[in-house]
Chains A and B, each alone.
Chain A
Amino acid sequence: MLNSIGLQNPGVEYFMQNDLPWLRKFDTKIIVNACGSSVEEYVELAKVLNTLDIDGVELNLSCPNVKSGCMAFGTSYEGVKEVTSRVRKVLDKPLIVKLTPNVTDITEPAKGAEDAGADGVSLINTLLGMSIDIEKKKPVLANNMGGLSGPAIKPVAVRMVYQVSKAIKIPVLGLGGIVNGRDVIEFMLAGATAVSIGTGNFIEPEISIKAIGEVEDYMKRHNIEDINTIIGKVEMN
């Protein structure tokens, strides 16, 4: 899927008053994805999030559809380190930094997150893409370029999860094109401690539940008692 939807949402105050009480009705962990347009805004947001009944924060340093901020911070060791360390100072909750794949070497920003005291990194966000309507000779997206997600990017994501998990010691949350339990296992073998699913939910709202069932089948077939034992256990050629 190629999208230029961006990060439309009514802001943290609306989230506090409306979404959070609703989410809290469910027996699950709540991790809030946060994005700002300046370092100061990230810090302000983190201060507010620190007071909320949530289980963690994922810093979005990697959305390709936001003109200022986000991806600008996420492409270098220094950029990621600066934002993350400023946020770390005001946030006591678990802090995950979400990384962009639109870089030459993704282990660099990953190290920036680790050195700044992040508890984990998540990757990958969408790959910058473009599609052209050949009849109109114009880009399909109104924003010209957008973020590519879904099964098309999975091999890139698996590769980067592997590279990052070898380069840093904090846990890696893997994502990018997961649509079933086999994909989950693949990410975990590459080095992911946990996974998340985005685009897959659009096709199948119960995709996570199905994937968990498929992971359990895999565990039975391979006599695995603890899923953590497969993390990073890919045997390279």
Chain B
Amino acid sequence: MTQSHGQFINIRVSDGVEPLLRRPISIHNIEGTNIEFIFQVKGKGTNILAEKEVGDKIDILGPLGKGTFKYEGAKNIAIIGGGIGIFPLYELAKEARKTAKVNMYLGFRSKDFVVLEDEYRKVSDKFILTTDDGTYGNKGYAIDFLKEDLKQENIDMIFACGPLPMLKAVQSLAKETKIPCQISLEERMGCGIGVCLGCAVKVNAGDQEIYTHVCKAGPVFDSNIVEI
């Protein structure tokens, strides 16, 4: 199966039943048939994963999700990410930059959380890094810098992935400015393949609201139709 930007993989970190469920992690970079993923050590599962060594085999299910940000036709795109939500945006920027100009806005909590600055800079035409407390880069929220740029620049598409407050702000900004926007959602998942139904999300389909699932229908959604 070929993988594409926006998709994710579901990793079984141990052979036993502890921890029980797989850990869903987004695809960061694709090089031929290889994929790269980056994760933050947060709990039991990611701790075990962090202890794997070069040469260890890992049980991976994927690529999963419909994924795929759609940037075709866009000339000037803005990509905004926050925290660990920046990772699925790298492959997108790399690919989209072949046909469009890429403005990148990355927000982190503080200096200690800043990662891969050079890598992201290389796949951007304009690169803005912020920290909430100003300990590195620009002080403030990434979205405020995007808002400022929208006043002068002709951005025709926005892509976002990050914490919920950021996504909500991006969603309302896109609505106000009528700029097409796609957001990648993070959700707790039991299976990642549309079976457990744990990652339900409300979307507007025409004139009615229906529930769909982040793992199968997403994780990338048109910000106009998804309720977050």
- Tell me the A residues contacting B by CB distance below 8 Å: 1, 3, 5, 8, 150-151, 179, 199, 201-205
Contact status of A202 and B200, CB under 8 A, knowing A1-B190, A3-B190, A8-B211: no
Q: Chain A contacts of B195 at CB under 8 A?
A: 201-202, 205
Task: Jot down 12 A-B pairs with beta carbons below 8 A, ordered by A.
Answer: A1-B190, A3-B198, A5-B196, A5-B200, A8-B211, A150-B17, A150-B20, A151-B17, A199-B20, A203-B12, A203-B20, A204-B12
Q: Which residue of B lies closest to A4 (CB)?
A: B198
Give B186-198 as 1s and 0s: 1 = Cβ < 8 Å from A's Cβ atoms. 0000110101111
A150 CA to B190 CA in the complex, in Å?
A: 12
Of B20, B22, B61, B195, the most chain A CB neighbours within 10 A belong to: B20
Shortest distance in angstroms between B24's beta carbon and chain A's nearest beta carbon?
11
Q: Which residue of B lies closest to A151 (CB)?
A: B17
- Tell me the B residues contacting A by CB distance below 8 Å: 12, 17, 20-22, 61, 190-191, 193, 195-198, 200, 211
Q: Which residue of A lies closest to B190 (CB)?
A: A202
Are B17 and A202 neighbours in the complex by a CB distance under 8 Å? no
Are B197 and A1 neighbours in the complex by a CB distance under 8 Å? no
Shortest distance in angstroms between A65's beta carbon and chain B's nearest beta carbon?
11
Contact status of A151 and B20, CB under 8 A, knowing A1-B190, A8-B211, A202-B191: yes
Are B20 and A205 neighbours in the complex by a CB distance under 8 Å? no
Are B200 and A1 neighbours in the complex by a CB distance under 8 Å? no
Shortest distance in angstroms between A32's beta carbon and chain B's nearest beta carbon?
16
